[in-house]
A and B are shown apart, each in its own frame.
Chain A
Amino acid sequence: MTKPIIEVKNLAKNFGKNPVLKDITEQVNPGQVIVIIGPSGSGKSTFLRCLNLLEQPTSGEVDFSGENLTTLDTKRVNELREQMGMVFQSFNLFPNMSVLENIKLAPMKVKHMADDAATKLAHELLQQVNLDDHADAFPASLSGGQAQRVAIARALAMDPKVMLFDEPTSALDPEMVGEVLNVMQELANQGMTMVVVTHEMGFAKSVADQVWFMADGFIQESNTPDAFFSNPQTERAQDFLSKILM
């Protein structure tokens, strides 16, 4: 059996006195695509942000490649974050830089890549997300779908081992959802390990290796998409699935 790349042990997170994550123990294996679904406010995003320590867990452990992130110093955490790309709901592109500069910044400033090498890499990644003709555009001139594809390319520029997606299509107009999901699907086909928080059930069904159903701060069910969607075990999951149109 392969060693898991991410291992979460008894993870809990409180915001003040409000417990958001209660006791989560799960693992992600290399090459796996995990889709986390569940009702709003169930803690999906918080869980994802605990994986690269954008949120500091209240208790429990987050292991990445065998190292417990919660015990490491800032420098090592920064190094491990390079290996976990993250894509946000609101894109979070740097508005003062062109598309190309957005992608080049981290490889140059963190990995100290030479300027021409970074430019070459950025163009390759832009081709991969079908946006090479927008290399010199500024984020404000992009559509939501284009911006999100740039954000994916930017994360990929650090050559990550895992990609974390935090509701990547929730802020998009419906006609743009497809172009982003296509890029993600392609990425999954190439064998990228992915953890995706989404409301796109179609994507979950067709791309996920594993579906985690989250509610009330717990992962209630973990199953293959086929099994989960056709035969949910918990009442909570049955209730959730009955409420969404499929």
Chain B
Amino acid sequence: MSEKPLEGDVLLELRHVRKSYGDFLAVRDVSFRALRGQMFGFLGPNGAGKSTTMRMIAGILEPSSGEIALFGAPINRAALMRTGYLPEERGIYKAMTPRAVIAYFAQLKGVDATTAHKRADAMLERYGLKEWGRQKVKKLSKGMAQKVQLLASIAHEPEFVIFDEPFSGLDPVNQQTLEDILLDLKARGCTILFSTHVMEHAERLCDHIVLIAKGQKMFDGDVASAMALAPQSVLVATEESFDLPRFARENGFAAERNGAGYKIGAADAQGTRRLLSGLVAAGAPLTRFEPSRPQLRDVFVRLVEGQAAPSAKGA
């Protein structure tokens, strides 16, 4: 790692990282970079190797091969002290109070006891758990306990956080609170790497996303680049005198019935333009021509199902 120093704004870099358990290859040749201050989405289907990769970044697991640099150096204790980590499986000490849990983990990360307790109090108040601060965790609801665990992972005010599926199991209200926490962290300049199955969160929050499937990187780029990969379709309706399915067939477009009209696959913006000009040239009496908004979910499904690796940026 030391022979190729990282650029100043690169906080995390993975180079050809692999992790195997015996014959099972959980992560194969994954490389990507996260820049300082980025909200970084780590997407992939179940069993893709997201958690394994995140545990390697958190210093819990060692890669079988490849390199991971954090804060410009191979993972070390000092770098981990500046990092917060929330594992996918939720669990905190049930017999402790939320205040004690938050302060305990902050202290483990080097914060002195007085400051740790002050921060715990402030965080509990900020995120609506003040009245629960001195109750035992076992008395809290699942969502509240999850929130406490998340607060415990950031109480030492880390510069980089790794959240593994932070939204899972949260109700819409708590999901919103979590989004607030993420935005607060981002506003503070913290770099955030989180995995999620909920594409809307990634679409709304992330500056950059990496998609992996079967341990392999499928996409690495910003959200706009990902959207460009979304298969485009157009909702088209004409007067009854025009045979729209026949037109689509003869011009190489796929059409399927959608309400009063048809949903015609146009592949991309150019295809959409070609469809419109074709319809005009054929004298189609158009009553509706509405290109649909691309969805990150569609990109996800397309890339995972296709297992091809079109990359907006080289890995």
Instruction: Report whether chain A binds chain B.
Output: no
